[in-house]
Chains A and B, each alone.
Chain A
């Protein structure tokens, strides 16, 4: 496992070599573009000149192709580095956010108009009915009014509910003298939606209602889910090696001792070490920790990985419950757990509850929390892998599904 420093050196090397590649490219092109000095009238010389030019061009093309391949390779490797991966995921989410807002905000506006019309219709209808009744009874009977009004109110309410459930209308709220709309499909809403699609969490309080929106969602998910899985796995792996290095360096004094001993022994007597290591390979007799120590690979105990995940959940719970006035710590941790396990009910989401609408900062923070949380989970799975396999092997042997090998 490379240490962090070596990795950074590698990356710098890659960057500078990428630049070198481009410079070389340019210089080769310039050399070819120079006019030939020795253009004589002698045919042979010209021929040889032409031939050499052709071979040079051919060589240039070959080098060009090689160079392009090398450049492309370096670019891909750079993109496959952790910065590149993060950019891919974030970029894809932002792209998705923009697309879905485009597709769905028209529909949302239309629904708002429908809601307005509904209210106007009901007001005027109520008006008419009351007028009719009062005219009939010459303004004397009041009981009938109650019934009529109640009836009209209930009808109005039913239709509003239908609008909410089927078309995703979200109501508006009054702030002073203004009526503000609660738009779901703002940019941050679209961003959160895209993130929930590609991470397969899928809250569901924002969903596409148009045909185009749904079709594009399917396409977006088809590409986005494998992409995100790849990226987050790799980011997790990177974080895991970083964590291992930190853990091995800072906490595990024993590891350092072992490492120093091994180095010392190696320097003095290399063959002896080989035999010692070969003997130690039998995993049934030696604990995995010792095996890993001799191979200078720090192994992080499972309990620390679990604590890491638990800490992230608690951190999220505290942060969100402070923000959301209606939440307590339990609801906050419930939200964090359901989100990180990618179940994603969507019944409680920060930044989208009734009291705290339109807080785009919270919604964006929620998306970030998701992505970082999933990377942390991937890191923990990577850290737990070796121990996990060993444990599973042990269990398998115990119950007899695995025959002891060798």
Chain B
């Protein structure tokens, strides 16, 4: 019995649920990450931009008296010694050394502090594009550091921002990785299956052992991924060990099955081993029930290609040599992120903004591609490690060591 009020509430609940469901779907997560970075760009620009000018002015205020004092000392030395070379040289040298050390300590680099934002003046590092790059490096844990928040509020917000952003990013990557991996496998099997592979597959019969658990839905796979990927550097290996004893059943799209189909499928899975049949007429069936493993080399080639592509692009645009830009791409994609070599930091270049935005996009795509490659590599790595272990006699043929 559903009263009208209940009906309304259900509708509201439904809307709420639909909303959250969309947010956590693939598109929703990507959109969330992009919006989060853009929002971060605005937030950090607002918090840090004024401070940048203030810091510059402060250091200038310290620098000028110091410079004047050096001036006075030098004049005194000159007048006292009447350009008597040796003694004067030594004294001048010591004054210059003090000047150098002081100016490094103060940290004023000679820019015109009043000219911020004007055509010939220095460009803000904390522009919107710079803050966007900063936000992206925070949520991907790259953390360049060439610009970093210096105000109290900036730092506090940075901590909060990363506490929310890093899990969001990892969630998104886990999702995207799976989707991209599926697409890649599909494309790869299409390319590979030009008839030559088809013959080989006809001979194979894959039997899948029954499992006593509910069939993996896409979400369940991810719930096993999420906690592991939340670990600092991704505990893909622990996921591997958990899953190695339980062969995966590739899911059929559960949304298209109704409950009875599901129940029947469960019963079927539980009671008998499923033998995959090779009618390659039904392509969707093939795709779902037989996982094409992409060889390790292909995955490595993809990663290498992305790094070299980025290296060429940034090398040309920024004027770096090939090793330097390859170094930048590697350090960025591995999330090490030193920050000594960063695109878009040469502020005399009018294209700095575009370079920064492109850098941010490169980073996000790179993370997605890396995630895809990890998803593709997992099965291969398990089987290779087991093979090596068996060869060495470390791993018994029937069981794994923990």
B144–A149 touching, CB < 8 Å:
no
A215 touches B110 (CB 8 A): no
A393–B338 CB distance below 8 A: no
Contact between chains at B327 and A214 (CB < 8 Å): yes
The contact string, 1 if C-beta is below 8 Å from chain A, for chain B 132-176, is: 000001100111111010101001101100100010000000000
Within 8 A of B (CB), among A57-78: 65-66, 68-70, 72-73, 76-77
Residues of A close to B340: CB separation below 8 A: 168, 204, 207
A130 B89 Cβ-Cβ under 8 A = no
From B99-107, B180-188, B273-281, B290-298, give the one contacting chain A: B99-107
Stretch from A94-102, A224-232, A286-294 contacting the other chain:
A224-232
Is the CB–CB distance between A172 and B78 below 8 Å? no
In whole Å, how far is A79's beta carbon from the nearest beta carbon of chain B? 11
Determine whether B189 belongs to the interface, using a CB cutoff of 8 Å to chain A.
no
Interchain CB contact under 8 A, A202 and B100? no
Question: In the complex, which residue of chain B has the Cβ closest to the Cβ of A209?
Answer: B340
Q: How far is the CB of A223 from chain B (nearest CB, A)?
A: 12
- Pick the contact of A354: B105, B162, B337, B392 (CB < 8 A): B105
Question: Which residue of chain A has its CB nearest to the CB of B341?
Answer: A207
Q: Mark A193-225, 1 if CB is under 8 A from B, else 0.
A: 000110111111101000100110110010001
B227 with A377: CB separation less than 8 A: no
Do B214 and A392 have beta carbons less than 8 Å apart?
A: no
Would you call A343 and B143 a contact (CB within 8 A)?
yes
Question: Are B96 and A229 in contact, CB atoms less than 8 angstroms apart?
Answer: no
B 108-124 to A, binary, CB cutoff 8 A, 1 in contact else 0? 01100000000000000
Residue of A with least CB distance to B216: A405
Cα distance A338–B103 when bound, in Å?
Answer: 29
The reply on B317 being an interface residue by CB < 8 A is no
A377 touching B231 in the complex, CB below 8 Å, given contacts A72-B392, A233-B237:
yes
Once the chains are docked, how many angstroms separate the CA of A199 from the CA of B323? 23
B219 touches A173 (CB 8 A): no
Are A201 and B336 interface neighbours, CB within 8 A? Answer: yes
**Residue of B whose beta carbon sits closest to that of A397:** B219
Q: Does B93 contact A (CB under 8 A)?
A: yes
Beta-carbon contact of A233 and B110 below 8 Å: no
Determine which of B17, B324, B327, B394 lies in contact with A400 in the assembled complex, contact meaning CB atoms within 8 Å.
B17
Please state if A401 and B24 are interface contacts (CB–CB under 8 Å).
yes
A405 in contact with B235 (CB, 8 Å):
no
**Which chain B residues in 18-46 approach chain A with CB under 8 Å?**
20-21, 24-25
Task: Name the residue in A154, A174, A217, A338 with the highest tally of chain B Cβ atoms < 10 Å from its Cβ.
Answer: A338
| Stretch from B68-76, B347-355, B361-369 forming part of the interface with A | B68-76
For B, the interface residue count at a CB cutoff of 8 angstroms equals: 86
**Beta-carbon nearest neighbor of B90 in chain A:** A123
A389 touches B401 (CB 8 A): no
A197 to B17, CA, bound (A): 43
Max chain A CB contacts within 10 Å: which of B88, B214, B394?
B394
Interface presence of B220 (CB below 8 A)? yes
**How far is it, in angstroms, between the C-alpha of A32 and the C-alpha of B221 when the chains are bound?**
56
B208 contacts the other chain (CB 8 A): no
Kindly list chain B residues whose C-beta atoms are within 8 Å of the C-beta of A157.
Answer: 99-100, 103, 110
Query: Could you tell me if A119 and B21 are in contact, using CB atoms closer than 8 angstroms?
Result: no
Closest chain A residue to B327, Cβ basis: A214
Please indicate the chain A residues that have their CB under 8 angstroms from the CB of B89 in the complex: 123-124, 127
CA distance A230 to B233 in the complex (A): 9
The reply to whether A347 and B148 contact each other, CB–CB distance below 8 Å, is yes
Q: Does B383 contact A (CB under 8 A)?
A: no
Chain B residues near A150: list those with CB within 8 A: 67, 71
In the bound assembly, the distance between CA atoms of A344 and B232 in angstroms comes to 12
> B386 interface residue, CB < 8 Å from A?
no
Q: Is the CB of A203 within 8 A of B234?
A: no
Name the interface residues of A134-192: CB closer than 8 Å to any CB of B. 134, 142, 145-146, 149-150, 153-154, 156-158, 160-161, 164, 168, 171-174, 179
Docked pose: A124 CA to B83 CA in angstroms: 12
Report whether B226 and A131 are in contact in the complex, using a CB–CB cutoff of 8 Å: no
CB B59 to nearest CB in A, in angstroms, measures: 12
List the B side residues contacting A127 at CB < 8 Å. Answer: 83, 85, 88-89, 92
Q: Say which residue of B99, B143, B228, B393 sits within 8 Å of A202 (CB atoms).
A: B143
Enumerate chain A residues within 8 angstroms of B233, measured Cβ to Cβ: 199-200, 225, 228-229, 232, 342, 374
Tell whether A396 is near chain B: CB-to-CB under 8 Å. Answer: yes
Contact, CB under 8 Å: B67 / A196: no
Contact of B393 among A69, A145, A237 (CB under 8 A): A69
Query: From A379, which residue of chain B is reached at the shortest CB distance?
Result: B231
B331 touches A202 (CB 8 A): yes
Q: Is the CB of B235 within 8 A of A233?
A: yes
A385 within 8 A of B: yes
Q: Which of B21, B145, B224 contacts A401 (CB 8 A)?
A: B21
Given the known inter-chain contacts A153-B99, A396-B223, please indicate yes or no for A378 contacting B232, CB distance below 8 A.
yes
B335 within 8 A of A: yes
Give the residues in chain B near A173, CB-CB below 8 Å. Answer: 101
A346 within 8 A of B: yes
**Are A342 and B334 in contact (CB-based, < 8 A)?**
no
Question: What's the dominant secondary structure at chain B's contact region?
Answer: helix
The answer to whether the Cβ of B127 comes within 8 Å of any Cβ in the partner chain is no
- Is A381 in contact with chain B by the CB < 8 A criterion? yes
Q: How far is the CA of A225 from the CA of B238 in the complex (A)?
A: 15
Complex alpha-carbon distance, A233 and B162, angstroms:
22
Q: Which residues of B contact A221 (CB under 8 A)?
A: 330-331, 334, 336
A154-B238 in contact given A134-B83, A200-B233, A346-B145 (Cβ < 8 Å): no
Chain B residue at minimal CB-CB distance from A346:
B145
Inter-chain CA distance A80–B395, complex, in Å, is: 13
Q: Is the CB of B223 within 8 A of A120?
A: no
Chain B residue nearest to A120 (CB atoms) is B93
* Complex alpha-carbon distance, A282 and B275, angstroms: 29
Report Cα–Cα, A403/B217, bound state, in Å: 8
B326 to A, closest residue via Cβ: A218
Check: B266 CB closer than 8 A to any chain A CB: yes
- Asked if B103 contacts A160 (CB within 8 A), the reply is yes
Task: Give Cα A241 to B227, complex, Å.
Answer: 17
Q: What is the chain B residue whose CB lies nearest that of A165? A: B109
A301 within 8 A of B: no
Contact digits for A16-29, partner B, Cβ 8 Å, 1 yes 0 no: 00000000000000
Q: Which residues of B contact A172 (CB under 8 A)?
A: 101
B104 in contact with A171 (CB, 8 Å): yes
A384 at the A/B interface (Cβ < 8 Å)?
yes
A68 to B230, CA, bound (A): 39
Q: Could you list 6 further interchain pairs (A-B, Cβ under 8 angstroms) beyond the known A354-B105, A405-B214?
A: A72-B394, A127-B92, A199-B232, A202-B142, A388-B226, A388-B227
Write the residues of chain A forming the contact surface with B, with a CB cutoff of 8 angstroms. Answer: 65-66, 68-70, 72-73, 76-77, 80, 119-120, 122-124, 126-127, 130-131, 134, 142, 145-146, 149-150, 153-154, 156-158, 160-161, 164, 168, 171-174, 179, 196-197, 199-205, 207, 211, 214-215, 217-218, 221, 225, 228-230, 232-233, 236-237, 330-331, 334, 337-338, 340-347, 354, 374, 377-378, 381-382, 384-385, 388-389, 392-393, 396, 398-403, 405-406
| Pairs across A and B, CB under 8 Å, 17 listed | A72-B392, A153-B96, A157-B100, A204-B144, A211-B323, A215-B323, A218-B330, A233-B237, A237-B238, A330-B155, A334-B155, A334-B159, A342-B143, A343-B138, A393-B223, A401-B24, A402-B217
Give the 4 A-B residue pairs with the shortest CB-CB distance, closest first.
A405-B214, A69-B393, A343-B143, A202-B336
